[in-house]
Amino acid sequence: MDITLNNQRALVTGANSGIGEAVVRGLAASGARVVVNYVSHPEAADKIVQDIQAAGGEAFSVLADVSDPAQVAAMFAQIDSHYGGLDILVNNAGIDGAHALSWDADPAAWLRVLQINLFGSFLCAQQALKRMVPQKSGVILNITSVHDQIAWSGYSAYTASKGGESMMMKTLAQEAAPFGVRVLAVAPGAVRTPINQSVWSDPTTLADLLTKIPLGRMGETTDIANMVVFLCSAQASYVTGTTIYVDGAMTDFPAFSHGG
């Protein structure tokens, strides 16, 4: 199967590290012209752009806080100026937030998680749809999480945001389908990134984590990127309004593998 995204114009938010970086590199390697969004560490975004350009691809970076409507609008204006529109949006930017049981949570910190993860995804999707609906083509893909259905004590804002992203995705897919635009989600499980290095670098915490993953290994960022590239391609043209779990079967309730 030859998966190509030649000349497709793609924006990945939060793309200068971790899953976002792997996704933007994967899209570029498949022929897409990419936009590397970031909110910090511009040097990392610049390095990704340089690598893609050195390999013969097209890329540029743009600073924007996805939770700010004005910054999102300005980012899409830059994309219009560079590429004349957009074909693929990957909503990846997000934060876990600080650990806090619900009765101890700081309301402002709780709200900030939703502003970035959920409202930010909406703002970017809204701008993308304004371009994709008239052209009657396009793909919007939310990077959600297994925690759109698995509870996570101490992270109620994160789970609420990911559950919200999932249902928002379904609603936008329903709205956009008559115009040839697909909207869907990829939900990673435990993926090895710098953010969770404290978990996978410690043999004890890693062993505990692996008991939650039937496949017996953590995911790699390329596992997510490969799925995203496929779902954004013509080979997945009949897939919309659904979430694909890339989680090593973490959502398959491994604790019940030996009976109830």
Question: Virtual CA dihedral for 8, 10, 16, 20, nearest 10 degrees?
Answer: -100
Q: What is the pLDDT of residue 260?
A: 66
Residues 33-58 have a mean pLDDT of 98
What does the block give as tokens for 206?
């890693």
Site of tokens 């978990």: 199
Measured CA to CA, the distance from residue 123 to residue 14 in angstroms comes to: 14
Neighbours of 159 (CB within 10 A): 20
Please determine, for residue 242, whether its predicted confidence score (pLDDT) is greater than 70: yes
Please determine, for residue 28, whether its predicted confidence score (pLDDT) is greater than 70: yes
What does the block give as tokens for 61?
């970076």
3-state secondary structure the chain: CCCCCCCCEEEECCCCCHHHHHHHHHHHHCCCEEEEEECCCHHHHHHHHHHHHHCCCCEEEEECCCCCHHHHHHHHHHHHHHHCCCCEEEECCCCCCCCCCHHHCCHHHHHHHHHHHHHHHHHHHHHHHHHHHHHCCEEEEEECCHHHCCCCCCCHHHHHHHHHHHHHHHHHHHHHHHHCEEEEEEEECCECCHHHHHHHCCHHHHHHHHCCCCCCCCECHHHHHHHHHHHHCHHHCCCCCCEEEECCCHHHCHHHCCCC
Q: Which residues are catalytic?
A: 158
Residue 209: pLDDT band with limits 50, 70, 90:
very high
What fold, for 9-192+220-244? Rossmann fold (3.40.50)
Residues 231-253 have a mean pLDDT of 97
Assessment of whether the complete model's pTM goes beyond 0.85? yes
Please determine, for residue 233, whether its predicted confidence score (pLDDT) is greater than 90: yes
25-39, 86-100, 101-115, 188-202: the lowest-pLDDT one = 188-202
Please determine, for residue 204, whether its predicted confidence score (pLDDT) is greater than 70: yes
Please determine, for residue 259, whether its predicted confidence score (pLDDT) is greater than 80: no
Q: What is the pLDDT of residue 16?
A: 97
Buried b (16+ CB within 10 A) or exposed e, 83-100: beebbbbbbbbbbbbeee
Please determine, for residue 195, whether its predicted confidence score (pLDDT) is greater than 80: no
Report the length, in residues, of the chain. Answer: 260
